[in-house]
């Protein structure tokens, strides 16, 4: 079984913000697999399918970014799955705009959503796909304002390409590709 999570904030006002890049990524995975988020479980919107006989659950926690770990902990317990079968998509200001970084483990770093997941799961051993949005044009904007600002103009083109790649990562993970192969195949600058 695989659980694929996108981190974000559920209100419409956050829909097209940098902090919702995780939601956008898991939405792209759902689109690629022809799924819709038509169920709710453990304080999350979910979509379910089977690929090659293995259950796949796509997740958008509705607990807001900083409490994402609460919903994820409940889902991991509900489905009785190992954290190594978890893939989390999130934004990351410490990575350059247009770059994707896949990791099998690591701390939450400066990302409050990841920190909350680590705290709630009691482990750093879960897969994550970080979508970079650091841009030198935006370094003077306070981070709290930046993550909640809208993606517009030339940035939209860049992130459309990045989200397309994120969708492929999610589909490949769902089909059983291991994290090391995904790292070799997809880590790096998209555009």
Residue 52 has a CB neighbour count (10 Å cut-off) of 8
What's the confidence (pLDDT) of residue 139?
67
The answer to whether 7 and 23 have CB atoms below 8 angstroms apart is yes
The answer to whether 129 and 87 have CB atoms below 8 angstroms apart is yes
Residue 63 has a CB neighbour count (10 Å cut-off) of 19
Active site residues: 19
Residue 154's pLDDT band (cuts 50, 70, 90): confident
What's the confidence (pLDDT) of residue 135?
84
Q: Is 31 exposed, middle or buried (0-12, 13-18, 19+ CB in 10 A)?
A: middle
Task: Give per-residue pLDDT as tens, 101-114.
Answer: 999 999 998 899 99
Total domains in the fold of the chain: 1
Residue 179's pLDDT band (cuts 50, 70, 90): very high
Query: Above 90 in pLDDT, residue 95?
Result: yes
Mean model confidence pLDDT for the chain: 95
The CATH number of whichever domain residue 77 belongs to comes to: 3.40.50.1470
Taking only Cα atoms into account, the Rg of the chain, rounded to an integer number of angstroms, comes to 15
Could you list the residue range(s) of the whole structural domain that residue 143 is in?
2-189
């Amino acid at each position: 079984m695989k659980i694929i999570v996108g981190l974000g904030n559920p209100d419409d006002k956050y829909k097209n913000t940098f902090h919702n890049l995780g939601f956008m990524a898991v939405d792209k995975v759902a689109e690629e697999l022809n799924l819709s988020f038509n169920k709710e479980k453990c304080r999350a919107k979910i979509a379910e399918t089977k690929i090659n006989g293995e259950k796949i659950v796509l997740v958008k926690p509705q607990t807001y970014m900083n409490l994402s770990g609460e919903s994820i902990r409940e889902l991991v317990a509900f489905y009785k799955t190992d954290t190594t079968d978890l893939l989390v998509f999130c934004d990351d200001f410490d990575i350059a705009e247009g770059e994707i970084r896949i990791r099998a483990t690591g701390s939450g770093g400066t990302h409050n959503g990841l920190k909350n997941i680590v705290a709630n799961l009691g482990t750093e051993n879960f897969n994550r796909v970080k979508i970079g949005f650091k841009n030198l044009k935006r370094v003077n904007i306070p981070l709290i304002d930046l993550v909640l600002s809208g993606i517009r103009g030339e940035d939209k083109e860049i992130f459309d390409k990045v989200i397309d790649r994120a969708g492929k990562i999610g589909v490949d993970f769902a089909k059983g590709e291991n994290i090391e192969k995904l790292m070799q195949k997809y880590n790096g600058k998209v555009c």
